[in-house]
């Protein structure tokens, strides 16, 4: 496969931000059942390479509509996500 991997950078609401320093703020790795289910859904996509607390990496072959669809899905999780940036 050629090309650079794509990623979705997630900016979380204050209580969920993994960069806030508090041990309970773990972004996508939070122990909340809703977040755990969300992470399971995200990694079920074959294009997803790996997930970090604030980022999801996808194969370079991931289409723009797929990236936009996942970003839109995440953005609808307003209790968790403030913004999603496609990089």
| Residue 1 included in any domain | no
Q: Is residue 60 part of a domain?
A: yes
Question: In this structure, is residue 52 part of a structural domain?
Answer: yes
pTM confidence score? 0.85
* Percent of the chain at pLDDT exceeding 70: 91
17 domain residue, yes or no: yes
* Residue 82 belongs to some domain of the structure: yes
**Which of 33, 10, 65, 20 shows the shortest CA–CA distance to 41?**
33
Quote the tokens at residue 23: 């041990």
pLDDT, tens digit (0-9, with 9 covering 90-100), for 34-49: 999 999 999 999 999 9
Q: Tell me if 32 is assigned to some domain.
A: yes
The domain containing residue 15 runs over which residues?
6-86
Instruction: Yes or no: say if 60 and 50 are a contact pair by the CB < 8 Å rule.
Output: no
**In the chain, how many domains are there?**
1
14 within some domain = yes
pLDDT in tens, 36-87: 999 999 999 999 999 999 999 999 999 999 999 999 999 999 999 999 999 9
């Amino acid at each position: 496969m050629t090309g650079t991997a794509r990623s979705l950078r997630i900016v979380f609401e204050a209580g969920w931000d993994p960069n806030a320093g508090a041990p309970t703020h773990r972004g996508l790795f939070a122990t909340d059942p809703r977040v755990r289910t969300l992470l399971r859904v995200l990694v079920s996509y074959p294009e997803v390479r790996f997930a970090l607390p604030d980022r999801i990496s996808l194969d370079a072959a991931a289409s723009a509509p797929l990236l936009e669809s996942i970003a839109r899905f995440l953005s609808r999780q307003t209790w968790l996500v403030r913004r999603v940036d496609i990089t």
